[in-house]
Each structure stands twice: as structure tokens, then as C-alpha cells.
Amino acid sequence: MSRRVLYLHGFASGPGSKKARYFAEKLPACGIRLEVPDLTEGDFEGQTLTAQLGVVERLVSGENAWLIGSSLGGYLAALYAARHPEVSKVVLLAPGFGFARRWPHSLGEQAMARWRRTGFLPLYHYGEKAERRVGYQLITDGEQYEEYPDVRQPCLIFHGRKDDVVPVEYSTEFAATRPNVELHIMDSDHELIDVLDVMWPRVREFLL
């Protein structure tokens, strides 16, 4: 059976992220070739969740697929899986559940109002190592999506207990009522970089 295996990168990141490179190096030994698309397709400023889900849909194209997603990419993987039963397994790394709701908490109401008024928010893009700006359509588009997608497929989650970007409580709440979800709370932060080697054996076992 043909299968697409995609890694969905996080916000202000890209295909060259450390976690994407890690799994792209590890999975071929398991007979798996990982695809890592640029979810914003070069348009970071104009990005929306809808457009990024469209990138995934074009790549998967109705085939059997596994998704691995980090942060916003984890939320996108969950959103996509909830709508596409051809996705058979999902691995989520510090998934960014409640994406639109969390912005006012992290930015503050004044900064949100300024972003809404000017239309753009300047921020640091970790993938490009430069300041970029993102349009407010990211929020207006994101508000239409549920905070906790109804993922029915086998789902493996790793989340750092010291995550100050997406609090671990988002994943614990998501997993609490879903017997198909296996949650591992790691002694790490949002990036999970320092525990990749600890996570890897369970990821490999889950996918094979």
C-alpha cells in the first residue's frame, strides 16, 4: 500500500528545522521516506491555516498517509486527520491546540489590537533567522477551526512539561477523553530538542 509520510513544521519555522532534519535522517533506516513541505509556500506574511491545510491535501491527495507535526504543524496534523480518514497514524510534538485563542494570552490585548489595526505583526522567523511580518488574516482564518480536533486515529503525543509556548495542559486535556491518544510528558521545553533521542524508540515502534 502506498503511503505518504509528511512532517509538518511549526510556526515561523520551515523544512530545515532541527526536528524535521532529525526524523528525515532517522526514518529511512525504517524504510520510510519523510516529506517535509514548506507549509507557507514562501508566503509567510499571507499565510492562513486554510492555505496550509491545502498544501497537505495536495500532497496526500487521498492516499493513505501518516502525519508528524510540531507545534502549529501538530495542530494542522490534528485538524487534517480529523477531516481525512485516509490518515492512519498521527505523531504530534507539542501540538499547538487552541491556536487562535492563545495569541491574546501571549501578546497581550494592546499588541493584538495594534496587529488588528495595522494588519501586520513583526516577529522573528526562526527558519529564516530574520525578522518578518505576518498578516492578521492568520487569526481571522484560524478562529473558524476547533481548538481540539476530533482525531479518531492512533495518535502519539510528546509534550514538554516546561513548555512556555503551548502549555502542556492543552495536550493533557486533549488526551483525557480520547483512548486512541498516547501522551508522553517529557522533562523538556517547547522545542523538545534535548529529548529527541529519548522519544525516537517509541516513535519508531508506533510507526512500524
135 part of a folded domain? no
116 part of a folded domain? no
User: Angle between the 49-60 and 72-83 helix axes, to the nearest 10 degrees?
Assistant: 60
182 part of a folded domain? yes
Give the pLDDT confidence score for residue 127 in this predicted structure.
86
115 part of a folded domain? no
Q: Please state whether the predicted TM-score (pTM) of the whole model is above 0.95.
A: yes
**69 lies in which domain range?**
3-98+148-207
143 part of a folded domain? no
Q: Is the pLDDT of residue 2 over 60?
A: no
CA 205 to chain centre: 21
Sign of the Cα torsion 140, 5, 153, 54 reads: positive
- Interatomic CA distance for residues 46 and 53, integer angstroms: 14
CATH number of the domain where residue 186 is located: 3.40.50.1820
Cα torsion 52, 54, 57, 59 to 10°: value is -70
The total number of structural domains that make up the chain: 1
* Beta bridge mates, 68: 7, 91
Tens digit of each residue's pLDDT (9 = 90 or more) over 63-107 = 899 999 999 999 999 999 999 999 999 999 999 999 999 999 999
195 part of a folded domain? yes
Considering only residues 156 and 4, tell me which one the structure prediction assigns the higher pLDDT. Answer: 156
